[in-house]
Amino acid sequence: MPNLLILGGTTEANALVKSVAEQGIPATYSYAGRVDSPRPQPVPTRVGGFGGAEGLARYIREHGISHIVDATHPFAAQMSSNAVEACITTATPLAALTRPAWVAQQGDDWQHVSDIEGAVDALSGPARRVFLAVGRMHLLDFAAQPQHHYLLRLVDEPETVPLPNRDILVSRGPFTVEDDRALMLRHGTQLVVSKNAGGTGARAKLDAARALGLPVLMIDRPVMPQRTELTNVAQVLDWLAHT
Ligand SMILES: NC(=O)c1ccc[n+]([C@@H]2O[C@H](COP(=O)([O-])OP(=O)(O)OC[C@H]3O[C@@H](n4cnc5c(N)ncnc54)[C@H](OP(=O)(O)O)[C@@H]3O)[C@@H](O)[C@H]2O)c1
């Protein structure tokens, strides 16, 4: 019987753990601990960092982990590279549950930047009303462009926000196109800043931006180390059964 560790924190990880639990596969779901009250899961959960690749390798040995599925967000590059390293060290099979990046379609007006720093640079210029949909981790970077009015949508009420002009909406996805369209209209949004997360959970804002003819500043994904990449839950279950 496998003993699976799922590195989670995403809609995709939630879908995987549901199927794993239904099949009775022993598993643990790992959260980084970034949000105040993580969703309950149908398998035991653990919360918090492992202590780098070494800490994860130790965890694997101490808990008899047989397989790891890295279902973290495509921008969680540190965790993903730690997982690759720890799995090499401990000879543990690793697969990533990934989602294809979003691709612009007809009617989209996207400007691509390669990282957060690129997005901050691209925001130099006159004040605009910006829907900054990048999560709370990088807000400080955007303090370098304080002239804009920012709309922030965050999972938890933040303690401090380093942006002088902002509206904060505390809400947890997934979101609908209709709601995001209404939100942007209500806030007079002129530009959307988004990470290229892929998947369905956060896609609505892009469809809403297209419908409203709004430009999007799209932050491309960080490069990930080489690893087995699977794109749906069925593939992961098959990999688990055969690896
Ligand atoms: N980055 C995003 O835009 C984004 C969006 C939505 C959800 N998330 C989720 O939020 C979490 C953190 O993302 P991040 O971008 O801050 O990651 P990151 O920069 O790659 O990770 C930083 C550190 O956080 C710990 N960590 C990250 N994910 C973990 C997990 N699932 N379980 C245990 N420890 C974890 C690890 O600490 P140690 O080195 O101590 O092990 C890791 O080295 C992930 O679960 C990710 O799926 C991220």
Closest Cα to residue 194, out of 79, 74, 82? 74
pLDDT value for 37: 85
C-beta separation of 99 from 231 below 8 A: yes
Interval 116-138: pLDDT, tens? 999 999 999 999 999 999 988 89
Same fold for the pair 4-99+223-242 and 110-219? yes
Closest Cα to residue 135, out of 182, 76, 78, 94? 76
pLDDT of 174 higher than 90? no
The closest residue, in CA terms, to atom 35 on ligand 1 is 32
Omega before 174 within 30 of 0, i.e. cis: yes
Contacts for 125 with CB less than 8 Å, ≥ 6 apart: none
pLDDT value for 159: 87
Interval 205-239: pLDDT, tens? 999 999 999 999 999 999 999 999 999 999 999 99
Percent of the chain with pLDDT over 70: 100
pLDDT value for 5: 98
Token pair recorded at residue 87:
């799995």
Distance 38 CA to ligand 1 centre (A): 13
The residue type at 179: D
C-beta separation of 82 from 58 below 8 A: no
Interval 155-172: pLDDT, tens? 888 889 999 999 999 998
Q: What are phi and psi of 196, to 5 degrees?
A: -80, 75
CATH code given to domain 4-99+223-242? 3.40.50.720
Distance 72 CA to ligand 1 centre (A): 7
Closest Cα to residue 229, out of 101, 103, 114, 110? 101
Taking the domains of the chain in order of start, what are their residue ranges?
Answer: 4-99+223-242, 110-219
Tell me the CATH class for 110-219: alpha beta
Question: How many other C-beta atoms can be found within 10 angstroms of the C-beta atom of residue 174?
Answer: 11
Distance 76 CA to ligand 1 centre (A): 5
Within 6 A (CB) of ligand 1 lie: 7-10, 30-32, 34, 49-52, 55-56, 72-73, 75-79, 82, 135, 137, 195
Distance of alpha carbon 68 from alpha carbon 240, whole angstroms: 9
Mean pLDDT of the chain: 96
